[in-house]
Amino acid sequence: MLEEVLQGVAAGIDLFDSSYIYHLTLGGFALTFPLDLLNLAEEFPEKTMGIDQSKINLKATVYRKDTGPIVEGCVCYTCRNHTRAYINHLLNVHEMLAQILLEIHNTHHYLGFFQAIRSAIKEDKFERFCDMFLQKRRDHLTAAVAVGA
């Protein structure tokens, strides 16, 4: 999970081996969390509190007619050439291309996450980056628990 990566980096770990992307992809999920530290607060507006913005389930029917890329502004092959609706269709007809396109996007986004971490460290803003990122995740989890209670 993303939180574990941040905890590991904070503890001095600089090499990660993970099946996180593989399992996300198999489940039909796409990573969508913001990567830009400076825009993190703006990309997580308060009106979305309680919504998990770290990933989306592209199998969901809400994406059936969504003609946008997985992440607006993402430059990966998948986002430049395919829509959420197309990937939703591929997932729902069990087409192997769905996993390939999702794997491309998720790997690109995950590597971008590590680049954002490296940039935050270089700019001496890693602690701030972690605090902002983790607080937004906590806000989502707290709201989700409150709704379920």
- Domain housing 116: 2-12+19-34+48-139
Is position 118 within any domain?
Answer: yes
Q: How long, in residues, is the chain?
A: 149
Asked if the model's pLDDT at residue 11 lies above 60, the reply is: yes
- The candidate with the shortest Cα–Cα distance to 145, out of 13, 49, 39, is 49
Q: Identify whether 101 is part of a domain.
A: yes
Q: Is residue 103 part of a domain?
A: yes
Q: Kindly report the CA angle at 93 between 89 and 96, in degrees rounded to 5?
A: 95
Q: Is the pLDDT of residue 79 over 50?
A: yes
Does residue 29 fall inside a structural domain?
A: yes
Number of separate domains in the chain: 1
Cα atoms found within 13 Å of the Cα of residue 101, Cβ hemisphere only: 23
- Average confidence (pLDDT) over 33-48: 60
